[in-house]
Amino acid sequence: TAARGEQGDLAGVRVVVSAGGTREPLDPVRFVGNRSSGRQGVALAAEAARRGADVTLVAANTDPGLTEGLAVRIVRVGSAQELASAMHAEAPEADVLVMTAAVADYRPAEVLESKLKKEQQGDRMTLELVKNPDVLAELVAARRVGQVVVGFAAETEPDREARLELGRAKIARKPADLLVVNHVGWSHGFEREENAIEVLVPGGEVVRETSGTKAEVATAVLDLVATALP
């Protein structure tokens, strides 16, 4: 592939990466969250910057320390709705959008003004949740000509073929240019340096498969992004 400039193959390319996991407030002291640390998203942002891109990281509760010394613009968000607003604000000016963040599918239907008290509940309590917007689906629907949109799919399915089928269904539902299928589980994917991925395109074909450090995975994903850019 042709080099775009002296600093790297992504010189001047505007890349927006979401990372981490959203937290959906329940009351002033509690939230519904997930285990995403933001490591893979931060690795993507760092690698894109190294290759000359103009990078914005939309960081949802990323582990403290991960973004220390990271020389990119950082927009911090908490909830899925905040992440959605930030991504929609950045998208019109972006050449590449990467949705690495683990966005909560649901949020508490009501956010309480004061702390929920257990005396008001029985021995069992039910929390009502409502669906969050699907940011990736919205970004894909609003995609400009030439803009490259990358989704991630977190799947716990240990069998490769079964995992790919879930990934294929996902990219069929929201046709991003690339879908990075990520194997996650109690002991896979989270809070560690190693990651295993398969990358799908809208037809369902596997265009890349690799495992290694999150930095190595970032390199593989950005190689595909560079090829997909106009």
Contacts 24+ apart (CB under 8 A), 178-181: 178/148, 178/150, 178/151, 178/207, 178/221, 178/224, 178/225, 178/228, 179/150, 179/151, 179/152, 179/153, 180/150, 180/151, 180/152, 180/153, 180/217, 180/221, 181/152, 181/153, 181/155
Question: Which residues have a catalytic role annotated?
Answer: 34
131: annotated binding-site residue? Answer: no
Question: Does residue 45 interact with ligand CTP by CB under 6 A?
Answer: no
Distance CA(33)–CA(84), nearest Å, equals 16
Q: What are phi and psi of 171, to 5 degrees?
A: -75, -25
118: annotated binding-site residue? Answer: no
Alpha carbon separation from 192 to 46, 63, 183, 197, 214 (Å, rounded):
17, 12, 12, 14, 9
Distance CA(49)–CA(96), nearest Å, equals 13
With CB under 6 A as the contact rule, the residue among 49, 66, 75, 101 that binds ligand CTP is 101
Question: Does residue 105 interact with Ca ion by CB under 5 A?
Answer: yes
Please list every residue from 81 through 100 that binds ligand CTP, using CB under 6 A: 99
Give the x-and-dash track for 124-143 against Ca ion (CB under 5 A). --------------------
Question: Does residue 38 interact with ligand CTP by CB under 6 A?
Answer: no
Question: Does residue 152 interact with ligand CTP by CB under 6 A?
Answer: yes
174: annotated binding-site residue? Answer: yes
Identity of the residue, 3 or 89, whose beta carbon is nearer to ligand CTP in the bound complex: 89
Question: Does residue 134 interact with ligand CTP by CB under 6 A?
Answer: yes
Identity of the residue, 10 or 99, whose beta carbon is nearer to ligand CTP in the bound complex: 99
Smallest gap from residue 123 Cβ to ligand CTP (A): 30
The token duo for 56 is: 């914005």
Distance CA(105)–CA(120), nearest Å, equals 27
Binding-site sequence positions: 105, 115, 133-136, 152, 170, 174
Annotated binding site for CTP: 105, 115, 133-136, 152, 170, 174
Residues that bind ligand CTP (CB under 6 A): 80, 99, 101, 103, 105, 132, 134-136, 151-154, 170
